[in-house]
């Protein structure tokens, strides 16, 4: 049970057979399994879900022990906790959140009940727009923008500086004598002192 289910499948703990939570999982093949441990569901993208119901919360602190064991089981899945947030559990919600998030460091998602939970579970395995890597960009524009943060250096002087000293470090380490023929006496002083003047508070 350490492997994630194949795409389009959900592994579900035996105890959920015939439960309302399965009705919303249309188009998904449900496999039942006895030995999921404390987790209630395993999803294809290596996500495990523990379901904390209204009854669990109202019944007292037993669910907390279950949560601790769930976290400590340290499976190779991302562990989510679905919590039923209803009119009856509203008053406990903030304490439950504190426990799950701050004490255990797990992710909590509130749901109104099993039907809502099933819709959420169905969405958890789809593709992710937030993880898209931005393509590598040229660094030249960023270097040019940074050089223009030197007081007294605009676009023209920045371009001239980079033609003679192609990296920021080289601009920084150029002596006044080296800078003078390129940007003039005043700017040469200004550029050099900007980099080398101590940054102490007065």
Partner 1 sequence: SACILVDSRCLSSGVELLASLRQRHAAAVHVCSLDGSYFIVSSRMAVERQSQSDLASTQNRKRLIERISSLLGLFERVCLIVEKDRTKTGEISRLFQRTRYYDSTLAALVGAGIRLLWSAGAEESAGLLADLAKLEHRKGQGISVPLEVKGQHRQQALQLYLSLPSVSYVHALSLSHNFSSIAQLMNSSIEAIQKGGCMSRPRAEEIYRFLRYSCDSALVNASKAGKRN
The position carrying tokens 């015939």 is 18
For residue 74, give both structure tokens. 């340290």
CB of 14 or CB of 23, closer to partner 1 = 23
Read off the tokens for 54. 């209204």
Residue placing its CB nearer to partner 1 in the complex, 15 or 166 = 166
Closest CB 8 distance from partner 1, rounded Å: 15
Report, in Å, the least distance between residue 181 CB and partner 1. Answer: 17
C-beta closer to partner 1: residue 38 or 108: 108
28/92 Cα distance (integer angstroms):
33
Report the candidate in 64, 38, 49, 32 with the shortest Cα–Cα distance to residue 111: 49
Least distance from C-beta 154 to partner 1, angstroms?
9
Pairwise CA distance, residues 16 & 188, whole Å: 75
What's the closest the beta carbon of residue 34 comes to partner 1, in angstroms?
Answer: 27
CB of 55 to partner 1, least distance (A): 20
Q: Which is nearer to partner 1, 68 or 120 (CB)?
A: 120
Closest distance of CB 165 from partner 1, Å: 9
d(CA 64, CA 95): 11
**Residue that the structure tokens 């007292």 belong to:** 60
Closer CB to partner 1, residue 65 or residue 131?
131
Of 190, 191, 186, nearest in space to 165 by CA: 191
Q: For residue 57, how many other CB atoms are within 10 A of its CB? A: 23
Question: Which residues contact partner 1 by CB under 8 A?
Answer: 45, 47, 78, 80, 85, 93-94, 97-98, 101-102, 107-110, 112, 116, 119-120, 122-126, 128-132, 134, 138-146, 148-151, 155, 158-159, 162-163, 166-169, 172-173, 194-202
- Which residues have a Cβ under 8 Å from the Cβ of 32 and sit 6 or more positions away? 11, 12, 13, 14, 17
Q: Is residue 34 within 8 Å of residue 24, measured between CB atoms?
A: no
Nearer to partner 1, 7 or 34 (CB): 7
């Amino acid at each position: 049970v350490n492997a994630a289910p194949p795409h389009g499948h959900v592994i579900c703990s035996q105890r959920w057979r015939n439960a309302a939570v399965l009705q919303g999982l249309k188009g998904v093949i449900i496999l039942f399994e006895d030995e999921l441990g404390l987790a209630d569901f395993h999803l294809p993208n290596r996500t495990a879900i523990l379901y904390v119901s209204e009854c669990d919360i109202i019944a007292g602190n037993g669910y907390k022990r279950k949560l601790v064991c769930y976290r400590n089981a340290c499976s190779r899945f991302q562990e989510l906790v679905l919590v039923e947030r209803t009119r009856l559990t509203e008053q406990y919600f903030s304490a439950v959140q504190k426990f799950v998030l701050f004490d255990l460091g797990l992710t909590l998602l509130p749901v109104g009940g099993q039907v809502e939970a099933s819709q959420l579970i169905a969405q958890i395995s789809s593709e992710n727009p937030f993880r898209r890597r931005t393509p590598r960009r040229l660094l030249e524009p960023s270097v040019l923008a940074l050089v223009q943060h030197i007081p007294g250096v605009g676009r023209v002087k920045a371009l001239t500086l980079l033609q003679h000293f192609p990296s920021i470090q080289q601009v920084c380490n150029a002596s006044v004598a080296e800078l003078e023929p390129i940007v003039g006496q005043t700017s040469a002083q200004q550029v050099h002192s900007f980099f080398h003047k101590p940054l102490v508070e007065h």
